[in-house]
Each structure stands twice: as C-alpha cells, then as structure tokens.
Amino acid sequence: MIEVKDLHKSFGEAHILKGITTSFEKGKTNLIIGQSGSGKTVFLKCLLGLFEYEEGSISYDGKIFSALSADEKRELRAEIGMVFQGSALFDSMTIAENVMFPLRMFTKQSKSEMEDRVNVVLNRVNLENAHKKMPSEASGGMQKRVAIARAIVNNPKYLFCDEPNSGLDPKTAIVIDNLIQEITDEFNITTVINSHDMNSVMEIGEKIVFLKDGLKAWEGSKETIFRTDNEAVTNFVYSSELFKKVRKMYLEENQ
C-alpha cells in the first residue's frame, strides 16, 4: 500500500500539485486520470522519488520515503518497476539486454541466473523469440511488452506506468492493459497507472484517482464512475458521445 498525504510540488512560482491525499492498494490496478497538464506525470515522478516535493509525505508499506537513509532509499528503488511514457528502451541494446539491465544495476546475480530470469519474464509477456532483436525492429506493442518485462524483471513490489498504451491501436492497448492487470494480480504488486484512455478506465480501473489542476477532484472505481454526478469528472469522462451512451446503458441495466 502506498499512502500519499497532502503532497505539494512546485517548479519555481508554478504550484503544480496542490495538496494531494490518497492511497493505492496492493494487488490492485490504481489509475490516475485527468486532462493533459493536470499533473499526472509530475505526481508519478514524486511517487518514484525522481522529484523532490516541498510538503507532504509518501509512504510505501509504512515506510516514509523522506525519512529513509540513502541506503534504504536505494533498497526501496530496487523494489520499484517503471514503464515510462513512450517505452524508453535503450536503442543500442537488444531486447534481452534491455530486460536484463535492472538485474545488472540492482542485483549480484550470475550471468546464467540473469539469463534465466530474462527468459521467464519475456515468456510472461509472450515475447519468447525476441531476445536478439533490437528495439527498432519491434512494433510499438512489442516495445511496450519489453518495457513491462523490464519493469517486472526484478520482482517489484511497486509498478508505475505512465500512459502505457499511448500510441497503440485499441485492441493492442487492451492487451497491454490486461497484461498489466494480470501481472499486478499474479504477483500482488501495488500498481499505479497514468492514463487518459477511457477504455483503460472501464477495463482495469479498480481504483481511479481523478486529478484536476493539481488537486484530487474525485476518487472511486470503474463501477462508481458511472454513478457520480461530480461535474469535473463527468465533463472529463463523458466528453465523448460514445461514453455518454455507455453510461446511459450501464445505468439502465443496473438500476
């Protein structure tokens, strides 16, 4: 469980996160949604420990990050997996080398132990024959799966994904969403995903935190998002005619 209390983050004069309090449970896919510029990536980078913040606290299973020693912070970082916006693979490394990278960084495993683990995770994301390919030879969907394999190779307790299905066709996007949800469930990971994709919300939104202008404007689940009359949420979620219809049908069916 990750608990965030009254988080404030500014860049110079610009106050971006204005006091966010929420929590993310273990074994659940937690979604952060909100318009472009609402602060999702900044928030995720605070969770990752990549950004310092002026006020507030973040605790990981009871450990408050800012109170940890440098060694303890390093240990915690080794328990975090990350899928960056746009995959961020190393272009000059093969797919297998990309996936092995965190093991080289954070563990003292032998080469054959690392190779075994790389095989396991590449199989898990259905890329058993892609070891020797370069990222440039892989499709966008394959690159996302490599990024997921790399993020989970070190058995993370926490998994953060920034727009994991951006740039993918709707079918591949759902495959990636479902893969993340299955892995979250299978390995009991605390997963936090940034998204502005309504399909993701409806498919895998076990907990949804809606950010607006650096504040949490609403939180709930894919079931309660249909029933809320919070105007900020409904303006965002039901800006398309399709989702207005989906909501109407859902409410008619579940009266």
Ligand X SMILES: Nc1ncnc2c1ncn2[C@@H]1O[C@H](COP(=O)(O)OP(=O)(O)OP(=O)(O)O)[C@@H](O)[C@H]1O
Query: Which position among 36, 69, 110, 136 is part of the footprint of ligand X (CB under 6 A)?
Result: 36
Rank residues 14 and 70 by Cβ distance to ligand X and give the closer one.
Answer: 14
The letter for the amino acid at 197 is D
Based on the number of CB atoms within 10 Å of its own CB, is 254 exposed (0-12), middle (13-18) or buried (19 or more)?
Answer: exposed
39 binds ligand X (CB under 6 A): yes
Q: Which stretch binds ligand X (CB under 6 A): 10-18, 20-28, 52-60, 225-233?
A: 10-18
**Minimum distance from CB of 217 to Mg ion (Å)?**
17
Distance CA 89, CA 211 (A): 28
SS3 25: coil
**Minimum distance from CB of 85 to Mg ion (Å)?**
6
164 binds ligand X (CB under 6 A): no
Full strand arrangement of the beta sheet holding 2-11: 14-24, 2-11, 55-60, 63-64
Distance CA 76, CA 84 (A): 18
Is residue 191 a contact partner of residue 28, using CB atoms and an 8 Å limit? yes
b vs e for 2-22, b when ≥16 Cβ sit within 10 Å of the residue's Cβ? Answer: bebeebbbeeeeeebbbebeb
**Minimum distance from CB of 124 to ligand X (Å)?**
28
Query: Which position among 30, 38, 41, 195 is part of the footprint of Mg ion (CB under 5 A)?
Result: 41
Query: Which position among 6, 25, 37, 132 is part of the footprint of ligand X (CB under 6 A)?
Result: 37
11 binds ligand X (CB under 6 A): yes
* Residues binding ligand X: number (CB under 6 A): 12
Is residue 52 a contact partner of residue 65, using CB atoms and an 8 Å limit? no
110 binds ligand X (CB under 6 A): no
Binding mask 198-217 for ligand X (x = CB under 6 A): --------------------
Q: Using CB under 6 A as the criterion, which residues of the chain lie in contact with ligand X when the complex forms?
A: 11, 14, 16, 34, 36-42, 196
